[in-house]
Structure 1
């Protein structure tokens, strides 16, 4: 068996190396629209063949097998780790922004249906305000019937916290009639009372089987860096990291020009970075450079195409409003989501389905177009702080992009109708169907 694994590892490494220099063509029946606006590596010319826009499924599977085979035999020998695989084990790490609560409703539905096993929900206090972030999450847990799922608070301190104007969205959400109508006794009175999300994360990963945990992360990676530094063996327990982050072939959203709303304008902002990377580029760089588990990004390249409601499309909001709360298992949640989203888009028409798009990827991956892999590095030089840069752009954005890491990313859904399917799926999250 050891010899077989070594042979597989060699073959997989060969396939990965081949994939880094050339990519097989897409099936001829796939349209140019489905290939996406640009290749992950960036097209050399408008007429570039689709072969530069995708890696084959066999290569991607082989790459993952190569990573998984590096786990020592002593770790894989645990009897409980050799059984039949069950539902996907998911840890949700969020920052209590508006679409995180939509994500939570979708995850709760999937958990209760046995489609996933939601292990825990960790709030990173960088994009919201306490105590509202934990209060609203607690109410959602109770109202959605997942009060038994641990809700915890990370003690991580984000390098660049979200602007205060937007962090106040959580307070606004907490004061909507739908949320205030949920009468639950909040168990925490002081900061120190909150369950420690960092200790729980370390212990949960230590107890997990190798390559068994999906981390759905929709915030800065500060808490992952903390956990991995505390116990460097933890990354081998992770099956994949799905991260809403980055802007690969599109502008970022930290430019401070006002295009993305008032409240930006920090000195040092740039037109390349996306907030979840910009919030802590040092943590992102650490995770990218010290781990080997697969990373899948849901970047602005895709999220920009998912408006809540603007001049281009109101499909999501129309779908959300069309859901009759009388037909929903959790009408108070549905009411709260409608109120919160309606109020938010009035003040912030630039909002997109950012974090909930990453959640949809975990729950409905078939909707997302597999466009292959690319090499990315995290820039920590001040001029382009937080940029995810490709090799073709290395040296153009200051120092710091010296270590490139292979990641996959989604720039499009599979076809136009998949957007409607995703909107319907998310807007009905409180309806158990």
Structure 2
């Protein structure tokens, strides 16, 4: 049976590559894609998403733009990648877009999609949790329609990636998706929806390397590998990891991962805003603890060589 999935991403390089991977999964039925205006410029991120779906002949999948806002904006240096990807030649071979952009907001689309679904839906979230939190506020009954939330976010037992350069009053303990809107994270933590985290604890073990990009280059006859290589090449001057791609791979290849349960709380104020702290008697979550890195790399190379 197919797994019903609703994707909520925020338009960065790894979000687009996570979308690329999700569309290749044989056991997944994607009900739609929501773009949250966080680590991107929203118009460009929506364009890239629709162009990607057109390229993969998945233009039956609707796209919706979330109108939520976070507390701490992502740096412009990070967000500009969406503008660059929007001008990739491989994504601009056609003059018109076939993939529909819905008139309703992403948060309303989430509510309606969950209610229409024939069974509980997995929310695959590769950006902040603000759209999910807003949807829960709009209609708390959707909680029963969510099978689980798989989220790329948080840092449990490692340092965060919020740098002093961009957040001088922060202590560096938070991961960016959580820091963007810690109050939204806390709102989701207050729900009873099962949470599976792909935190920095595991993504730190899977960096994007020049060696891996060269492996993609050897598959250039495949459009998806070529596109993935272009995207990752944008990131090579900085420390970059397979954040969202790793998280999304769990939907199809959970066998590559081990999980561990933690009790946690969310810090919503002060210099640790966005930190997900391990505490006794806290909110129980599951976190991806280990991954077979070599097999993960083989898996995404295989998936991206299908088209």
Q: Is the 8 A contact 1:152 1:197 kept in 2?
A: yes
Displacement of 1:193: 7.2
Aligned counterpart for 1:365 among listed residues 228, 234, 254: 254
Quote the Cα distance in structure 2 between the aligned partners of 1:118 and 1:317. Answer: 27
Q: Is the 8 A contact 1:246 1:276 kept in 2?
A: yes
Q: Is the 8 A contact 1:151 1:195 kept in 2?
A: no
Quote the Cα distance in structure 1 between the aligned partners of 2:87 and 2:279. Answer: 46
If the length of structure 2 is used for normalisation, what is the TM-score? 0.93
Alignment of 1:147-296 (within 5 A): 147-180=59-92, 182-186=93-97, 195-209=104-118, 212-256=120-164, 264-289=165-190, 291-296=191-196
Quote the Cα distance in structure 1 between the aligned partners of 2:137 and 2:216. Answer: 42
Q: Is the 8 A contact 1:105 1:429 kept in 2?
A: no
Displacement of 1:230: 1.1
Q: Is the 8 A contact 1:178 1:339 kept in 2?
A: no
Aligned counterpart for 1:374 among listed residues 253, 262, 273: 262
| Aligned residue in 1 for 2:22 | 107
| Aligned residue in 1 for 2:202 | 302
| Aligned residue in 2 for 1:127 | 39
| Aligned residue in 1 for 2:274 | 386
Structure 1 runs not aligned, ≥5 long = 1-85, 257-263, 393-402
| Aligned residue in 1 for 2:283 | 405
Quote the Cα distance in structure 2 between the aligned partners of 1:230 and 1:220. Answer: 17
Alignment of 1:4-19 (within 5 A): none
If the length of structure 1 is used for normalisation, what is the TM-score? 0.67
Displacement of 1:195: 4.6
Quote the Cα distance in structure 1 between the aligned partners of 2:104 and 2:180. Answer: 23
Q: Indicate the structure with greater helix content.
A: 1
Q: Is the 8 A contact 2:155 2:276 kept in 1?
A: yes
| Aligned residue in 1 for 2:243 | 354
Quote the Cα distance in structure 1 between the aligned partners of 2:81 and 2:116. Answer: 36
**CA RMSD, 1 decimal:** 2.0
Quote the Cα distance in structure 1 between the aligned partners of 2:6 and 2:235. Answer: 27
For 2:42, what is the secondary structure of its paired residue? coil
Q: Is the 8 A contact 2:124 2:149 kept in 1?
A: yes
Q: Indicate the structure with greater strand content.
A: 2
- Residues 207, 130 of structure 1: alpha-carbon distance in 2 compared, 3 angstrom cutoff: closer
| Aligned residue in 1 for 2:228 | 337
Quote the Cα distance in structure 2 between the aligned partners of 1:255 and 1:129. Answer: 21
Q: Which has the larger radius of gyration?
A: 1
For 2:23, what is the secondary structure of its paired residue? helix
Q: Is the 8 A contact 2:220 2:226 kept in 1?
A: no
Quote the Cα distance in structure 2 between the aligned partners of 1:353 and 1:376. Answer: 24
Query: Aligned pair count?
Result: 306
